[in-house]
Amino acid sequence: MTSVHNIEHFVVLMLENRSFDNLLGSLYPKSKNFNGVDGSESNKDRSGKVWPLTVTKGGDIAGLSVPNPDPGELWTDMNEQIFGFGPLGEAKPTKLPEAVAANMSGFVDSYTDPNGKPSRASYDPRQIMSRYDPDRDVPALAALARQFAVCDSWFASAPCQTWPNRLFLHTGTAGGYENNTPDALFFKMPTVFGTFDKAPSQPSWSIYHHDIPQTLTLQELVEKADKFHLFDTFVRQAKEGSLPNYSFIEPRYYSDIKFWPPSINLPNDMHPPHVVCFGDGLVASVYNALRSNEEAWKKTMLIIVFDEHGGCYDHAPPQSAVPPGPVKGDNPNPVFGFDRYGVRVPAVIASPYIQPGTILRPSDNYPEDGTTPFDHASVINTLRLRFDLGKPLTARVQAAPTLERVLNLADPVNLGPIEIKASECKVGLLYKIRSLFELWNDFQASLHDAARKLPKADDHGRAQVYIDRHETQSDTTQPDGATSDFGAIWRHAWDQILKAAGLKR
């Protein structure tokens, strides 16, 4: 093993809304050492019919955008998915008795529940009880998982939506908010980025994005425009070997149009029902850029993880968790104590200090010894250990296992392939055009609402992402609160904003 202090560059790519079983459950045969799937997994619907977990057909758009439509991912949806239909599922529990065990039996009912949302009555249970073939459908992610490390014991930080789990990655808490909550902006809890700025060693950091960065929901980051860069900048800096100590990458959340050279770019966040091959392409782009500079790569750790399961099936029950404790700006009326994890998510860690075929767990005898599993707070605690960031942001961060044990080689000798290839995305122009007019999912709609609250570049000299709705969007409200996307056309908005503020990316 080696020390985490041999790592100078940490790169985190957080993707969207997939469970471990959904993407990587069949990466290896199920065994004592790998908690994957073996074909016995299933859920019953309310009539008693059994729906087994099956492999998607892959290959085309329909096979690479499962589940479609998007499953429910609200706090109430997740309770039903984890605890099943019945008194607990109906009650949408806030505080669960200790004797209640998660049985992961409610995914089908949550997906097709006409009582919860009438439109779901026509949803096909086979969509939610499906998983991908990793090598066929997400070959770049699978290649990194095999060449370096996959973690089969990384859980979302809470059984909550995207925003709360992304907040856990940056702050060690959700601030008491269980769902995406643009009305609560801006979140005031201290961030890991702030601890970097205050640390004696002044480690460097940057955020790289494709469109609207969700990190701009954090008050500490609202006036840090010089720390935000488009993804092209990450690729360039990785090749140059000039990345900061901590790089956080946000995927493309929306479809957009590039006017020159003309193209339509589809989301690469893997959020259902977005096509997974584009997310796999982003994984390949990140790794290939890092690998292109061998000397810098030898001192780098790449962490690829998903925020939450997004309603996708997983068989591994989440356990209780250490509550974060109170922080500045907390929701005064939380619905529960944030004392349990969410559903298990895919996590892949790559570094030349990692032995090929590593399956990362928090201890040698996990889960029998009751060791705390990994969650998003593990990233903060790892950074805290490496850069001597001082007091943990929250009790959850303090309890989270670090990633140091994944570094199981004494020297950086496992360089990995010079280049990995993603799955081919066979998407026609008509599909791309249609994607510009699709209804937004809840995360996209919430993020758009957040962006509208950000100040314009010429307000008080602050340079922030700002969308001119008159040119790019329709304000027409659609069913289920979604908004029609007439392009999500961010076209050079970031460059224009930075130029107005006298900054460069």
**CATH number for the domain including 312?**
3.40.720
Tell whether 446 is covered by a domain.
no
Maximal C-alpha separation, the chain? 63
pLDDT digits (tens, 9 = 90+) for 168-212: 999 999 999 999 998 888 999 999 999 999 999 999 999 999 999
Query: CA-CA distance, 443 to 426, in Å (whole number)?
Result: 26
**Structural domain boundaries enclosing 382:** 4-30+42-125+135-406
Its pTM stands at 0.90
Residue 223's pLDDT is what?
81
DSSP string for 88-115: HHHH--SS--TT-------HHHHHH-TT
pLDDT digits (tens, 9 = 90+) for 354-377: 999 999 999 999 999 999 999 999
pLDDT digits (tens, 9 = 90+) for 231-266: 999 999 999 999 999 999 999 999 988 776 778 899
Tell whether 11 is covered by a domain.
yes
Tell whether 503 is covered by a domain.
no
**pLDDT band at residue 116 under the 50/70/90 scheme:** low
Q: What is the mean pLDDT of the chain?
A: 87
Give which of 355, 314, 287 is closest to 36, Cα–Cα.
314
Tell whether 444 is covered by a domain.
no
Tell whether 492 is covered by a domain.
no
Are residues 273 and 70 in contact, defined by beta-carbon separation less than 8 angstroms?
Answer: yes
Give which of 290, 400, 306, 308 is closest to 351, Cα–Cα.
290
Tell whether 80 is covered by a domain.
yes
**b/e map of 302-319 (b: 16 or more CB within 10 Å)?**
bbbbbbbbbbbbbbbebe
How many domains are contained in the chain? 1
Are residues 328 and 35 in contact, defined by beta-carbon separation less than 8 angstroms?
Answer: no
pLDDT digits (tens, 9 = 90+) for 306-325: 999 999 999 999 999 999 99
Tell whether 190 is covered by a domain.
yes
Tell whether 103 is covered by a domain.
yes
